[in-house]
Chains A and B, each alone.
Chain A
Amino acid sequence: MNWSILLAQATVNGLIIGLLYLLMAVGFTLVFGVMRTVNFAHGEFYMLGTFGAYFLTTQAHLPFLAAVAVTFLAAVAAGAILEMGILKPFRRDELNGMIVTIGLGIVLQNLALMFFGPDPLSIPAIAKGAFRLGKIVIPNSRIYVVVFALIVLALLYAFLRHSRPGRALRAVVEDFEIASIQGIRARIYYPLGFGIGVGLAAVAGALMAPLFSVSAFSGATPLLKAFIVVVLGGLGSIPGAVVAALSLGVVESYASLMIGGSAADMLIFIIVITMLVFRPRGLLGKGEA
């Protein structure tokens, strides 16, 4: 095995992981854009998404794609209800809203532990075999996940770009007051924005469930990655999140190849701190600061 194949393989692996970070981060940054609050419960919706996919495929025997779709819709509805029931008084209240989402995350995680137990579950792989491109090997199950993730992102793009509610949502993210002046009923878009944001986290969880384990503790790492991505990309910036998520995936993949996992983790936190201090608007400079 020579160096260039290793690098190519690392690049492909990194892009795949980066795509999944992107699903997490897009929802996270959307919620920040609408609510102006860092959603500390975001990882728990990922976790609930893995359980959604698990129960719908193994207990209800739904096909995988249908399970993902049902999980998404349920998460959007749950998110919207939680927003209206709990987060409503804390809209655009950065610090207090954040503390409330910490409480929400703790409640969700421990309810999941009470109902589903601490032992990790697993879903059978959705595809067997592997795809070979030259000497690079990609397991087919990963290719499925990548294709589904791309479809979700394309649908999100079409929704935000071309549909009326999507455009209104973007307007609210861009400038809440001007959007209100233009007749956009912002109060609808808080629950909608939060619902779609956490729905994306749940989709990420549902898609990842066959690759990783299904467990009540699985939300912490995706939340951490979403943090890192949105800081690098700029809070509230979706294009920034795209660039940052894919870069993070590839950099992590290279770094663990060359300098080892723990040093790579530290390096990433140093980059995050440097970025926040010197360029809080993010890589593309479109996030708000």
Chain B
Amino acid sequence: MSQTQLLASPSTGMPAGMRILGGALVAVIVIAPWFSGSFVQHLAILACLNVIAVAGLSLISRSGQLSFGHAAFVAIGAFVSVLAERHLGLGLWLSGLLGILAAALIAGLLGGVILRLKGVYFVLVTFAFGELTRLALLDWSSVTGGANGLTKITPISLFGLTLDTRPKFYALALVVVLLLIAALRAAFKRPLGHAIDSVAENPALAESTGLSVFRIQLLSFVLGCALAALSGFMQAHYIGYISPESFNTSVTIGFIIMLVIGGRASVWGPFIGALVLTPLPELFRGAVQTQYVLYGAALILIMRFLPGGLASLRHRFAASKETRQ
């Protein structure tokens, strides 16, 4: 698999025509919501929020760990920012920053202890942390509202402009997503990104070439959880309501499905995964079970036949074209 990826890395293997076509397709997809109904705009915003959270998960995954408590950090970002705004009287952006920093700090402290665990042990410990966070938020109802959650969260305002309509909020979410993808693309072309990938590929080799596996995984974990918190902060102010139950393990599993189906080894993976899977529930309205059966089956089939996810299709396409030429 790694060999075909080398052969068909985007800069060398993709013909210019295809890249332009791909770019045009992405442009049409991201612009379309402004010319569609309010419901499509809602889905587009949710997809953007998912891209941000799943991009965080993909950072962690690319360093070789799978977090099963990702939704907990979305919750931390949402709750800390909303509570800081309410009780500490901080402004919107400062409280948002505080939410993200709180998630990063917790991830740093937790990661410092749990990142020595590998594979399934890391999965289990993050799962336990996710459940613990949810239970703690539910139990601490005097502050978090318990199962009722927090309501009447004010919309985001930016330079005096209140983002209280869907087209306006979508503009913000889209800018964040595009900046994020650009930043990740840049990072994974530089030594830092290569270091993250190499730590996942072969930890022993990475360690022996002078990279600290622990520090790189910690960095990925902290950044990944901070992105989850960013998504939580934005979600709280978009929907106007948060509850501990909206961040349970099935939300984390949803993120994992998006990541795997989109593609774990590509910056575009979270984008494609969220884009494909966010609107899916709407196509299956009234047939939720069919939808989930398809999710599960897609997950198994992708793992079996396309481990690089949908994002790797273009490499396959480019590679097969090359061999034909």
Contact = CB atoms under 8 A, between A and B. Distances in A.
Interface of A: 32, 37-38, 86, 89-90, 94-96, 98-100, 102-107, 109-111, 113-114, 224, 227, 231, 235, 262-263, 265-266, 269-270, 272-273, 276-277, 280, 289
B304 A277 contact: no
A104 B300 contact: yes
Contact of B121 (A100, A113, A289): A289
A111 B135 contact: no
CB-based closest 8 A-B pairs: A103-B299, A106-B296, A107-B296, A269-B132, A110-B292, A103-B300, A103-B296, A94-B119
B135 A269 contact: yes
Contacts of A105: 296
A231 B256 CA distance: 22
A276 B289 contact: no
A266 B132 contact: yes
B140 to A, nearest CB: 10
B123 A98 contact: yes
Given A235-B120, A269-B132, A272-B128, 5 more contacts: A111-B289, A227-B127, A273-B132, A277-B113, A280-B121
B136 interface: yes
Contacts of A99: 66, 256, 260, 299, 303
A94 B120 CA distance: 7
A277 B113 CA distance: 7
A102 B116 CA distance: 24
Contacts of B292: 106-107, 109-110
Given A96-B303, A110-B293, A277-B117, A102 B253 contact: yes
Interface string B104-122: 0000000001101101110
B225 interface: no
B241 interface: no
A262 B297 contact: no
Given A94-B120, A276-B125, A277-B114, A102 B136 contact: no
Given A262-B138, A277-B117, A96 B307 contact: yes
Contacts of B288: 110
B290 interface: yes
Contacts of B184: none
A113 B287 CA distance: 11
Nearest to B136: A266
Of B132, B289, B296, B304, the most chain A CB neighbours within 10 A belong to B296
Contacts of A113: 289
A49 to B, nearest CB: 20
Contacts of B207: none
B123 A266 contact: no
B124 interface: yes
Interface string B134-149: 0110110000000000
Given A99-B303, A103-B299, A266 B135 contact: yes
A104 B128 contact: no
A240 B192 CA distance: 42
A98 B120 contact: yes
Given A102-B256, A263-B139, A280-B121, A110 B296 contact: yes
Contact of A100 (B136, B139, B300): B300
Nearest to A96: B303
Contacts of B113: 277
30 contacts: A94-B119, A95-B66, A95-B120, A95-B123, A96-B307, A98-B123, A99-B66, A99-B260, A99-B303, A100-B304, A102-B256, A103-B295, A103-B300, A107-B297, A110-B288, A110-B292, A111-B289, A111-B293, A113-B289, A114-B289, A114-B290, A224-B131, A231-B128, A235-B120, A235-B121, A266-B132, A266-B136, A276-B117, A276-B124, A276-B125
Nearest to A87: B300
B214 interface: no
A224 B249 CA distance: 11
B295 to A, nearest CB: 6
